[in-house]
Amino acid sequence: MIKTRLCTLLGITHPIVQGGMAWVATAELVAAVSDAGGLGILGGGNAPPDYVRAQIREVKRWTDKPFGVNIPLFSPYVDDVVQICIEERVKVVATGAGNPAPVMPPLKEAGITVIPVVSSVALAKRVERMGADAIVAEGMESGGHIGDVATMPLIPQVVDAVNVPVIAAGGFADGRGLAAALALGAVGIQMGTRFICTTECIVHPNYKQKIVEAGDRATITTGHSLGHPVRAIKNPMTRKFQEMEREAEINEEELIKLGTGKLRLAVEEGDMVNGSIMAGQISGLIHDVIPTRELIERIVSEAEAVLNQMPSYIIHQE
Ligand code: TUI
């Protein structure tokens, strides 16, 4: 067993959090992760409030363990989803893709544990002052919408800048990664891409297969010209996006049109040509699709083995 401050804060068994991926992290995956002793987080995405409420109730039907809801701050339904989380007595809310200042007061007042996802030291400090209970620091190795600092330099800098527990994200998929995150001063890891390749995750089998087949250089980032870089597996859709971004006159409207709805297309239809297959650089390390419980147990026992090995590297000299 590996116990950290995160386990105490959230009432979970293992210091492993599942990223709240839009369209991907549905009740099935969230319940499986929480039931196995991690923290599952529902991907609110920009789904309508009624759908989010129904998903919360589904998770509660499957497990009585703690779970969270992710609220991306670009969602048009942010305020409604905040209200639903309060009404449904959700224990944990994670925010992403923006500054959580507007949602912090109502969530904190309701006694909800708030864990913003940040990609810089500056925002980590700001959210701590706002009352964040913990912080996910996400490196640019992650899939989806990302910042511009890599995990290895980001984690220790955030750990040094704040007092609240820091969860490391971006590039984690196994026990070696968990051990490394603890060495950097984090209290646990958040994984997204690795949890896509589980039997409980509802994404189209084509999506899982793309990740399993991916190598270390399989992903690319697009959207820099729009100020919203997104990492996804290279395919005809990302190539088209790249070509349009390289043009002298960038047509922002056309780019936005090209990107909109494409994650859902990949997740639901399995369209690997026109869809956006958001995934992290760690895709190259993922070789199988296995049950969530088995995955979590494998990661924890591997991390234990790695940590037990560490003292043997220290040679004590007289
Ligand atoms: O949110 C994510 N990753 C995401 S959201 C998403 S949905 C999407 N769908 C289609 C196109 C684009 C996105 C896919 N992946 N991760 C959490 C995260 N948040 N990473 C970085 C940030 C972040 C960035 C800037 C958090 C705060 C922030 O603040 C800027 C500010 O306002 O100060």
Q: What is the pLDDT of residues 249-275, one digit of tens each?
A: 888 888 888 888 999 999 999 999 999
pLDDT at 179 over 90: yes
Nearest CA to ligand 1 atom 19: 97
Measured CA to CA, the distance from residue 12 to residue 5 in angstroms comes to: 10
Both structure tokens of 65: 């363990």
pLDDT level of residue 307 (50, 70, 90 thresholds) = very high
Query: Which helix (H) or strand (E) is 93 found in, with range?
Result: strand 92-96
Which atom of ligand 1 lies at the shortest distance from residue 230's CA? 12
Query: Pairing state of beta strands 219-222 and 230-233?
Result: antiparallel
pLDDT at 115 over 90: yes
Supply the pLDDT for residue 110: 98
Supply the pLDDT for residue 173: 98
**Residue 1 Cα to ligand 1 middle (Å):** 32
Measured CA to CA, the distance from residue 139 to residue 149 in angstroms comes to: 6
pLDDT at 44 over 90: no
| Rounded average pLDDT over 150-169 | 98
Any atom of ligand 1 within 6 Å of the Cβ of 100: no
Q: What residue has token string 């529902």?
A: 42
Domain coordinates of the chain in residue numbers?
Answer: 12-202+287-308, 219-278
Any atom of ligand 1 within 6 Å of the Cβ of 259: yes
Reported as a single tens digit per residue, the pLDDT across 123-153 is: 999 999 999 999 999 999 999 999 999 999 9
Nearest CA to ligand 1 atom 24: 97
pLDDT at 196 over 90: yes
**Residue 73 Cα to ligand 1 middle (Å):** 8
Reported as a single tens digit per residue, the pLDDT across 54-111 is: 999 999 999 999 999 999 999 999 999 999 999 999 999 999 999 999 999 999 999 9
Measured CA to CA, the distance from residue 208 to residue 233 in angstroms comes to: 11
| Rounded average pLDDT over 194-220 | 98
**Which residue type is seen at 144?**
G
Any atom of ligand 1 within 6 Å of the Cβ of 267: no
Supply the pLDDT for residue 256: 85
The answer to whether 113 and 5 have CB atoms below 8 angstroms apart is: no
pLDDT at 317 over 90: no
The CA–CA distances, whole Å, from 229 to 10, 140, 142 equal: 31, 9, 11
Q: Which residues contact 181 (CB under 8 A, 6 or more apart)?
A: 155, 168, 172, 188, 189
Measured CA to CA, the distance from residue 228 to residue 281 in angstroms comes to: 18
User: 3-class SS at 109?
Assistant: helix
Count of C-beta atoms within a 10 Å radius of residue 243: 9
Any atom of ligand 1 within 6 Å of the Cβ of 119: yes
The pTM assigned to this predicted structure is 0.97
**Residue 229 Cα to ligand 1 middle (Å):** 9
CATH architecture, domain defined by 12-202+287-308: Alpha-Beta Barrel (3.20)
Nearest CA to ligand 1 atom 29: 98
